[in-house]
């Protein structure tokens, strides 16, 4: 992958034809796996992430909490998810992402309903083209709801970046790799809460405020699509 000379053309369009504030085509499905308690497949463009949830189930003593369920998250990239085969062993990056994704999901799960249990969330990147942590958070939120786990709200994620001095939403891999900033955000609009915030690169104060506004607009839309996806899955279940 080489660095493009320009990221935005004279008409203000990005390399893949999107406007700066346009997200990639989004697809969401729930109940895609029969053996997990809840599951979801989410795509933003070419990035595809599967999430599976098991639990709440009685937890091992070592991780058991007396007043609430413990959430365990594993973020993993499948060996076939990248252009070159990825080593299937968990990398430092995957261990760290598992931690920050757990922290991004903890505020939405009503864990005190289920003391001494664990809820396991597996986030498996099937195809990566930028934004896998944010797509992963969206998929995990849907899979938790699909598992019937009581939640305060849903979260969704998107990354904001900067290329050619323009703020853009939902970076693909080229924009992520060669752009000037990468700011992934996960938020629960119904709680007014940002649950994951990271920033690689430098933004001015004004850019930072604009970037948060851009992210929240997209996250609101994504959460609406999540709700619609869940409603449709109940309708389908009712029709069976
Ligand atoms: P995110 O996927 O959340 O944007 P990064 O910013 O770390 O996370 O990664 C950006 C993109 O770089 C990923 O979406 C993926 O397309 C690519 N990438 C990350 N890690 C690897 C890897 N180990 N091998 C190949 N490509 C990778």
pLDDT-derived band at 60 (thresholds 50, 70, 90) equals confident
128 C-alpha to ligand 1 centroid (Å): 7
pLDDT, residue 208, reads: 97
- CA 194 vs. chain centroid, Å, equals 13
Q: Is 55 in the pocket of ligand 1 (CB under 6 A)?
A: no
Q: Is 124 in the pocket of ligand 1 (CB under 6 A)?
A: no
130 C-alpha to ligand 1 centroid (Å): 6
Comparison of pLDDT for 60 and 203, the residue scoring more: 203
| Contact criterion met (CB below 8 Å) for 162 and 207 | yes
149 C-alpha to ligand 1 centroid (Å): 30
Mean pLDDT of 204-226: 98
Fold of domain 26-58+65-239: Ribosomal Protein S5; domain 2 (3.30.230)
pLDDT, residue 240, reads: 66
If DSSP codes are grouped into helix, strand and coil, which group holds residue 195?
strand
Strands 26-30 and 200-201: unpaired
pLDDT tens string 111-128: 999 999 999 999 999 999
Mean pLDDT of 5-21: 97
pLDDT over 90 (residue 69): yes
């Amino acid at each position: 992958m080489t660095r493009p000379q320009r990221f935005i053309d004279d008409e203000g369009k990005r390399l893949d034809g999107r406007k700066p504030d346009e997200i990639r085509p989004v697809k969401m499905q729930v109940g895609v796996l029969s053996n997990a308690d809840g599951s979801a497949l989410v795509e933003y463009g070419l990035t595809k992430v599967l999430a599976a949830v098991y639990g709440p189930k009685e937890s091992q003593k070592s991780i058991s909490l007396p007043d609430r369920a413990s959430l365990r998250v594993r973020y993993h990239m499948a060996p076939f998810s990248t252009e070159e085969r990825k080593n299937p062993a968990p990398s430092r990056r995957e261990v760290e992402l598992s931690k920050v994704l757990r922290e991004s999901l903890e505020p939405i799960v009503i864990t005190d309903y289920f003391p001494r249990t664990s809820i396991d969330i597996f986030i498996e990147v099937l195809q990566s083209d930028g934004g896998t942590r944010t797509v992963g958070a969206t998929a995990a939120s849907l899979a938790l709801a699909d598992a019937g786990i009581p939640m305060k709200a849903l979260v969704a994620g998107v990354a904001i970046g900067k290329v050619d001095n323009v703020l853009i939403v939902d970076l693909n891999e080229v924009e992520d790799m060669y752009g000037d900033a990468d700011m992934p955000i996960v938020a629960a609009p119904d709680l007014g809460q940002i649950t994951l915030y990271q920033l690689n690169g430098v933004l001015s104060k004004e850019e930072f405020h604009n970037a948060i506004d851009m992210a929240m607009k997209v996250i609101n839309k994504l959460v609406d699509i999540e709700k619609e996806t869940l409603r449709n899955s109940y309708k389908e279940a009712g029709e069976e």
